[in-house]
Amino acid sequence: MPRIDDYKESFRLAALELKKRDPAALAQSSGAEYSAEKGLVVAFLGAGYRVEIHPETKIGKIDSNEEVALPDQILIAHYLLGAAGRKATGKLITFRQVPDGHFYFDAFQRRARDPFVKFFGDNGALFVKCAEMLGAAPVDNGDYGMEFSVFPHIQVQLLLWAGDEEFPPEATILFDESIHWRLPAEDIAVMSGGLVYRLIGLGRKMLSA
């Protein structure tokens, strides 16, 4: 597990790089919005985040004073830095197919795939309801398949197959091939885990209501 100091250093380095970039150019290449009045605003899992670059880099939700978790701030900064205006290819890949994905595969399974299938494996309908709350749309894949727009140029598919008397539930997570142009493998694992735990949090609230 990364230490808080590692996160702080990662964000510091990203902030230094952001200061070298033009906000309007960042917005154009990443699908974010930029204006003199509102500044740089990027969508992340259906919510808007304002990114202040000068004099100090700050990232916060545009409609809330809630503090943004440092891993999310790093993801947003890295997404902006990695965006290059490239379009999605339409070809779906697994995490193993991401360059260097094999180095982080075990962490990816523990952080994203395993918690997802453990929590939603026997309740696909709950998964769909939670996914819809994050703005996801159904896809024709798996017994329950939903596609999430994590960032403007990053879509992620979570697919769930219901278990039966012979086989346990199964799940997979798919990405457009273009994702490796935008984020490194470690960030993709963090992003996927963050998405899954958001869904689990929503699911727990619904079950306890």
* Domain-ending residue, one of 82, 111, 131: 82
**Do 113 and 31 share a structural domain?**
no
147 token code pair: 């596609």
Q: Which residues form the domain of 167?
A: 92-208
- Answer yes or no: is 125 within a domain: yes
If one counts the domains in the chain, the total is 2
What are the mean pLDDT values of the chain's consecutive 10-residue runs (209 residues total)?
81 95 93 92 94 93 90 96 83 94 93 97 97 96 96 96 89 95 93 97 94
Its sign, for the CA torsion 15, 16, 22, 28, is negative
Q: Is residue 136 part of a domain?
A: yes
DSSP class of residue 36 equals T
* Same domain assignment for residues 29 and 122: no
The pLDDT of residue 20: 94
> Taking the model in full, what pTM does it have?
0.91
